[in-house]
Amino acid sequence: MWYAVRSVVPWPDGEHHAPRYEERVTIFRADSFEAAVRLAKEESAEYARDVVGGAALGMYQAFLIREEFEDGAEVFSLIRDSDLAPEEYLDHFFDTGRERQGFLE
């Protein structure tokens, strides 16, 4: 079975002296959630050490992918309870103004 695992890796202070956090979703073929998370911990530790020069934060969220890969295949899902209105929810969790991202038109 395939599992997607989300992790967070802190980056060293950048040119603006603000900490950066990279959320990563990686996929693994494994027999269980535990095995997938174990593989993700190993991969994340290696990535953090070799690419970022640090250590992963130790938070792992796993998702069992129940289908074969094809266009539109879901590779990660997290459901969060929130009393925030839709726009407030996006602003609070995903559009704080501190993301390093571009926009498509």
Cα 93 to Cα 65: distance, rounded to the nearest angstrom: 24
pLDDT tens for residues 20-56? Answer: 788 899 999 999 999 999 999 999 999 999 988 888 8
Does residue 5 register a pLDDT over 80?
yes
Instruction: Confirm whether 100 is domain-assigned.
Output: no
7 CA to centre of own chain: 4
- 16: phi then psi, degrees, rounded to nearest 5: -95, 5
In this predicted structure, what is the pLDDT of residue 18? Answer: 66
* Residue matched to tokens 């690419």: 51
Quote the mean pLDDT of the chain: 86
Q: What is the structure's pLDDT at 46?
A: 94
| Position 8 pLDDT exceeds 80 | yes
> pTM above the 0.75 mark?
yes
Q: What are the residue ranges of helices labelled H in 1-102?
A: 33-47, 86-93
Structural domain total, the chain: 1
- Asked whether residue 16 is assigned to any structural domain, the reply reads yes
The answer to whether position 98 is within a domain reads no
Does residue 60 lie within any of the structural domains?
yes
CA–CA dist 35, 12 (Å, integer): 29
Domain residue limits at 29: 2-67+75-93
Task: Give the dihedral sign, CA 69/74/105/11.
Answer: negative
Tell me whether residue 59 is in a domain. yes
Residue 99 domain-assigned? no
- pLDDT value at position 31? 95
Dist CA 24 CA 27 (whole Å): 10
